[in-house]
Amino acid sequence: MIETRLFLETLPTPTGLLRIVTDERETIRLLDWGAADDPADLRRRLPLGVGRLRLEARRAPSPARGAVDAYFNGDAAALDALAVETGGSVFQRQVWAALRTIPAGATVSYGEIARRIGAAGAARAVGLANNRNPIVLVIPCHRVIGADGALVGYGGGLERKLWLLRHEGALL
């Protein structure tokens, strides 16, 4: 079995502790809210298909960490060019790719994402894919809202979603 070497770093942010897991190519494999001291949770959250894992603490900050720092310091576009490896089903990857096209400062509905990927009527399935997003912020699931404009369905909590949308200028 192939061993995948991954690197973990944590970053305190205005909305809580953020975990960043990258591989040897600096590709983000996981970026989410949570404690670094829970290896079972980390392994559960990592995308399927990585094989046997060797998870190490990162010694020096990654480019991803620099981009996340820049994001929280006001440069919402800092995350746009980061490489990600999500795993997931074909449908999930379609949803997550569509999410990356939502610019900072904008929001779209679950139904709109479903239409964009050619699956009109699959708004609930889009919501489920959003909930499984392994790379928050970079794949901006917080920018997806209900059809009526309501802030619904964010795995990191609605308070965090509200903070992020205000930070990006989508809400006042």
pLDDT value, residue 111: 96
pTM for the structure as a whole: 0.91
pLDDT in tens, 72-110: 999 989 999 999 999 899 999 999 999 999 999 999 999
Are 148 and 102 within one domain? Answer: yes
Catalytic residue among 114, 129, 141, 170: 141
What residues make up the domain containing 147? 90-168
Count of domains observed in the chain: 2
Q: Among this protein's residues, is 141 annotated catalytic?
A: yes
Q: How many CB atoms lie within 10 A of CB 63?
A: 13
Q: Confirm if 99 and 139 have CB atoms less than 8 A apart.
A: yes
Q: What is the DSSP annotation of 12-55?
A: EETTEEEEEEEETT--EEEEEES-TT-HHHHHHHSPTT--EEEE
CATH number where 128 lies = 1.10.10.10
